[in-house]
């Protein structure tokens, strides 16, 4: 593991404020939060509660639309898409933990369109780590940093007494 230290809780507070702004800027009166499994779903769940949003947030699985599905398979996901509201014509704020190549975002948007055509999709991420391979950009990123391609930045969620506490792990060589 690397010695890179990121305060996930401080970044979450920044993300919460940024998402609040995106929701206020939305053209529709009731935009919905959709988190990408797994870290984005954890963030969306907490944002839904902390921002006191009515209803439920959605969870999107990018598994079936990934370009590496043959290598990873279905078992790697652990989740299925759960959208407790209509997608058609809805303004959405898509939440993810780490934006890197853009491939997960592309796959998640493809999955969203399987359920209907949203009016708009805005992207908010906890960390934009660079390394883009597709023309994808976040509307809001709590932090932007460059990491070597060999390093993997992962969001973790505490279990037990403080299940909403987030932290980061960094794996790989610098």
Alpha carbons 154 and 164: distance in angstroms, whole number: 16
pLDDT of 87 > 60? The answer is: yes
**What architecture (CATH level 2) is domain 8-70+78-171?**
3-Layer(aba) Sandwich (3.40)
Torsional sign, CA 117, 119, 124, 130:
positive
Type and span of the H or E element at 41: helix 39-50
Alpha carbons 98 and 136: distance in angstroms, whole number: 13
Alpha carbons 174 and 170: distance in angstroms, whole number: 10
pLDDT tens-digit series, residues 11-64: 999 999 999 999 998 666 789 999 999 999 999 999 999 999 999 999 999 988
Alpha carbons 16 and 147: distance in angstroms, whole number: 24
pLDDT tens-digit series, residues 119-151: 999 999 999 999 999 999 999 999 999 998 899
- 92 bridge partner residues: 32, 121
When comparing pLDDT for 5 and 110, which is higher?
110
Domain boundaries, given as residue ranges, for the chain: 8-70+78-171
Three-class DSSP category at 105: helix
């Amino acid at each position: 593991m690397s010695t890179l230290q990121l305060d996930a809780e401080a970044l979450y507070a920044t993300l919460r404020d940024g998402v609040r702004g995106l929701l206020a800027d939305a053209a529709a009166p009731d935009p919905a939060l959709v988190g990408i499994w797994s870290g984005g779903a954890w963030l969306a769940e907490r944002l839904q509660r902390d921002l006191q949003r009515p209803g439920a947030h959605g969870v999107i699985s990018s598994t079936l639309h990934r370009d590496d599905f043959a290598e990873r398979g279905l078992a790697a996901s652990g989740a299925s898409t759960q959208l407790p509201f209509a997608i058609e014509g809805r303004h959405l704020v898509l939440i993810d933990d780490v934006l890197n190549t853009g491939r997960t975002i592309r796959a998640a948007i493809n999955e969203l369109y399987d359920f209907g055509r949203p009016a708009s999709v805005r992207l908010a991420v906890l960390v934009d780590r660079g390394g883009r391979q597709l023309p994808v950009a976040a509307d809001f990123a709590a932090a932007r940093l460059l990491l070597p391609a060999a390093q993997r930045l992962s969001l973790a969620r505490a279990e037990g007494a403080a299940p909403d506490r987030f932290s980061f792990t960094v794996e790989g060589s610098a």
